[in-house]
Amino acid sequence: MSGRGTRRGRDVAVLLDDFGHRLPPLPPADAAPRERGPFTQLVPGRGMRGRGRGRTAALAPLSVWRMTSEQTPVVWPLIATSGLPPTGAQMGLDLLSGGAFYCDPVGWVTDDDIPVTNPNVVVFGKPGRGKSATVKAFALRMLAYGYRTLVLGDTKDEYEPLCRALGVEPFVIGHGLPARVNPLAFGPLGHGWERLDTAEIRRREALVFARWLVLLRGLVASQAVPFGPVEETAVGEALRLLTGYRSGATRLTEPTIPQLWHTLDEPPPELVSGCRYADRRHFLDATRTLRDALGSLVKGSLAGLFDDHTSIHVDWRAPIQSLSLSRLEPLGDHAVGIALTCLNSWGQAMREIADPGDLRIVVRDETWRQMRLGAEAMKSLDANLRLSRRDADVQILLAHKPSDMLTAGDATSQAVAIARDLLHLCDVKVLHGQDQAVGDELGSMLGLTPTAQRLVTGWAVAGKGRALWLVGDRAFKVQTVLTGPELRLTYTNEALAAGGPT
């Protein structure tokens, strides 16, 4: 054996020469100096020697795999990130990319690369799948970005722990309690009316009256009474009389629904002539169903709750505000639906003018109770979203399924069209677990792929907080992750745990 450093055997050129082949001669070496490599100092595999320089005694085990480029994509699918920027609330895991999932509806609207044109969110899911918990966690995590939350109707008082944790006492609405909310409130639009020029007065008048009409149409129609042009004229004219707008008052008076009903029931001559009726009798005959519907609301669902001027003082700078409605629960879905309709309209009034930096999340939980009142109530919800002046508000609707409104016995194509419209007003959709039948319904309404639909009816049902998030036309498989304190704040199974009814 030759010693170390000597070459053994013959080199290739000599070997080939033996077989009669000549290798072409090597061109003379390039005289130009070699470019210096970027790494002038090489670090050995175990790290640099010396104290405190991170040298390791043992090398980390390295597993080596060999495969063709055809096989690599199978072993390492190399899934790209979600494509959503990491801004806003970190909600949990994006299970398709393995990364974190962030929710920032307003940020998505302003980003041209994300196919989202409004910041509204609709959350669907079977009860108990974590809809409310996801929304509460979102509200809590968006606080850091300056967002405040307004819960328009907390039908189970389940936002109360969250409010108290943030140092806010929620308003409680119920019979025998002092809190009153006037759904016909002017809101900030009514401020400083006497200083406004005519054009601005006209504009504001149009906004306020449009909102009132939407509300009254929803309320009257919930009593299964039609609200057509006759009713609209009568209500519009009565409201103009009541506010003093007709008589050209510079300071408008805020009406209430009982006052409206009284004016219609005991019509002053101006109202009769303003609506172009020959006489009082004529007016009363034409508006009988309207008056009866309003009368039964005033004496029934609205009594003691929405029948007077607003008596609560809302601090809009508090991190969260909530109106608890659980006292209405024993009165049934209809009463709760009416209350939600009134609160939605009032909440919209409160948000019509706001400071530019006043970012808000408006939560409408258990929206399905309002949907159940029928197509008109659904339309009023739709109008609330549509009329919402402020694109900086993130409006969140929570419901079980889109067809809730259809169970009111109104499975017409019009009702379906309204449900679809409402969905279009919410570019972000969060689909928690659903039964097969509802999955099919969602699938056809939203145009889900079979895979996406299976996620909703299979994977999402199997765990709380699991949902398919549709951001514009992109889909994400997301598991909401709650921290320990959040789990306690969102706990809604007291009744179950106590063995009582749910």
Where on the chain is the footprint of ligand ADP (CB under 6 A)? 125, 127-133, 464-465, 480, 482, 487, 490-493
d(CA 186, CA 204): 10
Q: How many C-beta neighbours within 10 Å does residue 485 have? A: 10
Instruction: Decide whether 136 or 379 has the Cβ nearer to Mg ion.
Output: 136
Residues near Mg ion (CB under 5 A)? 132
Instruction: Decide whether 392 or 460 has the Cβ nearer to ligand ADP.
Output: 460
Whole-number minimum distance, CB 162 to ligand ADP, in Å?
Answer: 11
Whole-number minimum distance, CB 104 to ligand ADP, in Å?
Answer: 19
d(CA 162, CA 154): 12
The H helix count followed by the E strand count for the chain is 19, 11
Whole-number minimum distance, CB 132 to ligand ADP, in Å?
Answer: 3
Contact 246, 273 (CB under 8 A): no
Q: Which residue has the tokens 């309209």?
A: 345
**Chain-centroid distance, C-alpha 398:** 8
Instruction: Decide whether 140 or 297 has the Cβ nearer to ligand ADP.
Output: 140
d(CA 140, CA 89): 9
Whole-number minimum distance, CB 487 to ligand ADP, in Å?
Answer: 5
490 binds, among Mg ion, ligand ADP, none (CB under 5 to 8 A by kind): ligand ADP
Whole-number minimum distance, CB 462 to ligand ADP, in Å?
Answer: 13
482 binds, among Mg ion, ligand ADP, none (CB under 5 to 8 A by kind): ligand ADP
d(CA 314, CA 254): 18
Q: Can you give the three-state secondary structure of 46-111, one letter per residue?
A: CCCCCCCCCCCCCCCCCCCCCCCCCCHHHHCCCCCCCCCCCCCEEEEEECCCCCEEEECHHHHHHC
Instruction: Decide whether 341 or 490 has the Cβ nearer to ligand ADP.
Output: 490
- Bridge partners of residue 480, in order along the sequence: 92
491 binds, among Mg ion, ligand ADP, none (CB under 5 to 8 A by kind): ligand ADP
Q: Kindly give the pairing relationship between strand 320-324 and strand 147-154.
A: parallel
Give the DSSP letter string of 218-262.
HHHHTTT----HHHHHHHHHHHHHHHTTTTT-SSPPPP-HHHHHH
465 binds, among ligand ADP, Mg ion, none (CB under 5 to 8 A by kind): ligand ADP
Helix axes 288-299, 198-221, angle to 10 degrees: 80
Instruction: Decide whether 5 or 500 has the Cβ nearer to Mg ion.
Output: 500
Whole-number minimum distance, CB 109 to Mg ion, in Å?
Answer: 26
Contact 404, 368 (CB under 8 A): yes
Q: Which residue has the tokens 């966690």?
A: 137
Whole-number minimum distance, CB 107 to ligand ADP, in Å?
Answer: 23
Q: In 327-401, where does DSSP find H-type helix?
A: 333-350, 368-371, 375-387
Instruction: Decide whether 237 or 486 has the Cβ nearer to ligand ADP.
Output: 486
- Residues 51-88, buried b or exposed e (16+ Cβ, 10 A)? eeeeeeeeeeeeeeeeeeeeeeeeeeeeeeebebeeeb
Structure tokens at 324: 């608890």
Instruction: Decide whether 138 or 186 has the Cβ nearer to ligand ADP.
Output: 138
Task: Give the closest residue to 190 by CA, choosing from 383, 358, 350, 357.
Answer: 350
Question: 164 CB contacts (<8 Å, ≥6 apart)?
Answer: 170
Instruction: Decide whether 128 or 295 has the Cβ nearer to Mg ion.
Output: 128
- Bridge partners of residue 466, in order along the sequence: 479
Whole-number minimum distance, CB 89 to ligand ADP, in Å?
Answer: 14
Instruction: Decide whether 145 or 491 has the Cβ nearer to ligand ADP.
Output: 491
Instruction: Decide whether 132 or 384 has the Cβ nearer to Mg ion.
Output: 132
402 binds, among ligand ADP, Mg ion, none (CB under 5 to 8 A by kind): none
240 binds, among ligand ADP, Mg ion, none (CB under 5 to 8 A by kind): none
Instruction: Decide whether 351 or 369 has the Cβ nearer to Mg ion.
Output: 369
Whole-number minimum distance, CB 140 to ligand ADP, in Å?
Answer: 13
Whole-number minimum distance, CB 91 to ligand ADP, in Å?
Answer: 9
| Closest residue to Mg ion using C-beta atoms | 132
151 binds, among ligand ADP, Mg ion, none (CB under 5 to 8 A by kind): none
d(CA 415, CA 331): 26
| Closest residue to ligand ADP using C-beta atoms | 465
Whole-number minimum distance, CB 495 to ligand ADP, in Å?
Answer: 11
487 binds, among Mg ion, ligand ADP, none (CB under 5 to 8 A by kind): ligand ADP
d(CA 65, CA 71): 11
Whole-number minimum distance, CB 133 to Mg ion, in Å?
Answer: 8
Instruction: Decide whether 132 or 287 has the Cβ nearer to Mg ion.
Output: 132
